[in-house]
Amino acid sequence: MRKLATAALAFSAAVFLANFILPERWLLIAAALSALVGAALALLHRRWLRPAVIALLFFAVGLVEYSVYRSLTVDRARQYAGETRTVSAVVLDYPDEYDGYCRVRVRTDTEGLPHFKAIVYDNDKCFADAEPGRRIGFTAKISTADTLFGKPYDNYVLNGFYWKMSVKGDEVIGDTLFTPRSLPVRLHHLLCERVDQLFPEGSRAFIKALMLGDKQEFYDDDALYVSLSRAGLMHVAAVSGLHIAFLVGLLLLLFGNGRRGALSSVVLVWCFVLVSGSSKSAVRAAFMQMLLLLAPILRRENDPVTSLSAVLALLLAACPFAARSVSLQLSFAAMAGILCFAQGIRAWLMSPLPAELRHGPAAYVPDVIASTLSVTVFTVPLTALHFSYIPLLAVFANLLCLWAVSVCFCLAWAACLLSFVPLLGTAAAWVCTLLVRYILFCARLIAGQPYAVLYTETKGALCWMLISYALLLPGLLLRKRRVLHILLSAALSLSLLAGILLHTERSFRENDYISVLDVGQGQCIAAMAGDDTVVIDCGNTSSLDDAGSVAGRYLLSRGRRSVQLFLLTHLHEDHADGAVRLMETLPVETLVLPAQSGESDSLYDRIAACAARRGTELIEIETDAELNAGRIALRVLDVPADGRSDPHSLMARLSIGDTDLLVTGDATKKQERALVGREDLSGTELVIAGHHGSKNAAAEELLRAAGGELAIISVGYNNYGHPAPETLSRLAECGYEVRRTDTDGTIEIKLERDNG
């Protein structure tokens, strides 16, 4: 078994190196060298060299596998990028419909094209009603699926999609073919509809994510997303090893722990995976659990290390790009932590308990603490790397909620299966809904604590994490005085964390800052003076990260606990669609909006509803107004209509001490010139270039009237040509230094404070 582990780990190491470190041109050379060295060692016929021989040979196999797989998929797909083709394809899943387009997952079967899976973007929504198995035809422009918004993007490729196609015309819808491949997707869709019928609106998103891994509604629910992520409970919102463990536990309880129970569990687990949509995380978890269940089936002793490494190698052999998957990295890091440390931590926690209390309900608390702590050993660095935060109170959240999550998972499935018997299905759904409310209450309670999450965007937080690992890991490897070393290390780590947090908060309290955040193609500006914070705009488009999440991370990592004033210059997505997420992340005292015309607006409705729910005062501005947040003065300026833009929009002049900042939103040149005629803008040091540097903004009259020194352009990936060359030239001619968020990232300006 250990030979299998050696081979699997060497293969997996090669695939990871090929994904992240080794240049593509060196892969086959490195594979040849590894194979030659392995063959040379094999010729020596030394027993003690066998592990090295196995490792070297399978390392070479891993490099070759990655190189061949890449050439047959991504590299081959790139050969057709930029072409416009007539395509025929079979729909794989129900389309995702959005405001201006729909997105369809298909497998092409066009002669002369590789039969790859593709993401099809249909702006006319002709395929919005297509079902799995439906044959469609269209003319499309082809691009590769490994980039999104101008940046490398792995998610599509990880799921086997190598093309993106934009429909250009000639849409044809053919017959629907009922194939075994489409059956799981249809069952998944039916279960989602059943959940909609059984569960009330407040719990549907959570139930779908918990049962089926369907997170479309989950991500749309900002309150749910923020509370679970800050509480450290996001792992319950995706079908993973945790959910498979719940299911196997229930099945073994019903069928027993013998061969019959193991065989039944293997079959039903794979049925569950198919019905839940066969996500990568579900398949991965099923493989892990299956290998663990094979031990009683084959009457062999279980070897977790071999099982874990074999599953990893199988998954990487099927798709070497899976090494880039964050969920795969976290899953195996969690399992590695459990294998290395859970038993020792559990034994230490159990040692004070009497023997009769070491089993049953009394063991719940030590088991959860041991599992949670052991999981975090290797997952915390990955979480910090990929998500820039560490949930510090996750242990408490798991203690309070994991039992309820497991019961809720089983009850939700029972409710769906029993829903054909009205009273039983409704009763199970009612109890399940109560549990969901309990889980969400606990999540909100923990998420609302001041230090529930440590955001690692500051150097101090990263230093704390590195020092803590340097202190704690040696203690975990010691045999003598291990507990004493760990306790002392933990005390030092907590003291260091408290010192870093206090220093960060003090630094940002004793100095004044104006920051233009890098939110992509959008805008978000934060001003901080003392304990007061003002935010102007919070929105973006063409970005994978919600502007509200970016702003929330930034402010919380700087010790901000609330926002006194939050101004939205106008209600376009690139300026306001992150407002709800930000308000769910931090308390906002006053929200300022341009006066609305009375017409229905979905974005306004969402923002207003969130403000009412969170107790935020909402002010609609119709004329110029003066607002203050401590030392920060905000003059809100009504934008005169020019006949082509929304008349209900605002500009703002923000002042901290002797420094003035001018924000014109998406005002046109005509509107900016009108502002110059009625407002004294002299002495404005900082100017946010209007409309992301559009050629129709940043009028020369306004730039010269302001007389500023620095112009900041908040811009990201876009198809509009922002910032326009003529705007950049105009700024240079007027004497402005130009900084841009797309090239400089978040721009943080520390202001000199006049303490006199």
Asked whether the predicted pLDDT for residue 199 surpasses 70, the reply is yes
Kindly list the distances between the CA atom of residue 183 and the CA atoms of 113, 131, 272, 420, in Å, as whole numbers in the listed order. 26, 11, 13, 21
User: How many Cβ atoms sit within 10 Å of the Cβ of residue 220?
Assistant: 12
pLDDT, tens digit (0-9, with 9 covering 90-100), for 568-624: 999 999 999 999 999 999 999 999 999 886 665 789 999 999 999 999 999 999 889
How does strand 737-740 pair with strand 710-713?
A: parallel
pLDDT of residue 228: 94
DSSP helix/strand/coil, 493: helix
The confidence score (pLDDT) of residue 647 equals 53
Give Cβ neighbours of residue 79 (< 8 Å, ≥ 6 apart).
none
Report if pTM > 0.85: yes
pLDDT of residue 215: 85
The CA distance from 173 to 88, in Å, is 10
Q: What percentage of the chain reaches a pLDDT higher than 70?
A: 92
Answer whether residue 645 shows pLDDT above 60. Answer: no
Q: What is the pLDDT of residue 336?
A: 84
Q: Does position 31 have pLDDT exceeding 80, yes or no? A: yes
pLDDT band, very low/low/confident/very high, at 478 (cuts 50, 70, 90) = low
590 pairs with which residues across the strands? 565, 617
User: Number of C-alpha atoms within 13 angstroms, CB side, residue 685?
Assistant: 11
pLDDT given for residue 633 in this prediction: 96
Q: How confident is the model at residue 442 (pLDDT cuts 50, 70, 90)?
A: very high
State mean pLDDT over 424-444.
93
DSSP string, 421-485: SHHHHHHHHHHHHHHHHHHHHHHHHHHTSTTSEEETTSHHHHHHHHHHHHHHHHHHH-SSSHHHH
Axis-axis angle for helices 394-417, 422-447 (nearest 10): 170
Q: Is the pLDDT of residue 301 over 60?
A: no
pLDDT at 474 over 80: no
Query: What is the bridge-based pairing of β-strands 134-144 and 84-91?
Result: antiparallel
Q: Is the predicted pLDDT of residue 1 greater than 60, yes or no?
A: no
Helix (H, G, I), strand (E, B) or coil at 697: coil
Which residue matches tokens 């900016």? 672
pLDDT tens digits along 500-541: 888 888 888 888 999 999 999 999 999 999 899 999 999 999
Q: Give the whole-angstrom CA distance, residue 410 versus residue 711.
A: 57
